[in-house]
Structure 1
């Protein structure tokens, strides 16, 4: 039986056309984020809230860092 390691590898994927970014742990999609706060919430719901999203080596940011959310400014409030 496979066990989760002590150090999960979280990937925040490059932005999609709508600016959202998929968040995965291994082959499992944890959720879809439209903002940094969404990534924090997705990890909290996955019981991974001890991870410092912006600074941890456990989080791999692809296609831009935590501040890169293209299309975000085009959304109406």
Structure 2
């Protein structure tokens, strides 16, 4: 993963899911901050926890923060 590209959490869709992107590629769809952590861990970013994704400067939350999961 390039350090120049942040992790982007897209706005919630109509089902409350949010796409998780790194370097423009969609890695998965999350329904809570815990899902984001699991997706990032699966991508090799093992240091992320549920709390970590909420406060990391490396993550750009679009369309609301880590507590926003409704469309």
TM bin (shorter chain)? 0.7 to 0.9
Q: How many matched pairs?
A: 68
Which of structures 1 and 2 has the larger relative contact order (alpha carbons within 8 angstroms, sep 6+)? 2
Consecutive unaligned residues of structure 2, counting only runs of 5 or more, are none
Structure 1: 5+ residue stretches without partners? 72-77
Shift of 1:10: 0.2
> After TM superposition, which residue ranges in structure 1, 4 or more long, deviate above 4 angstroms?
none
Distance 2:32 2:3 in 1: 26
Indicate the structure (1 or 2) with the bigger Cα radius of gyration.
Answer: 1
TM-score (norm 2): 0.84
**TM-score (norm. length: structure 1):** 0.78
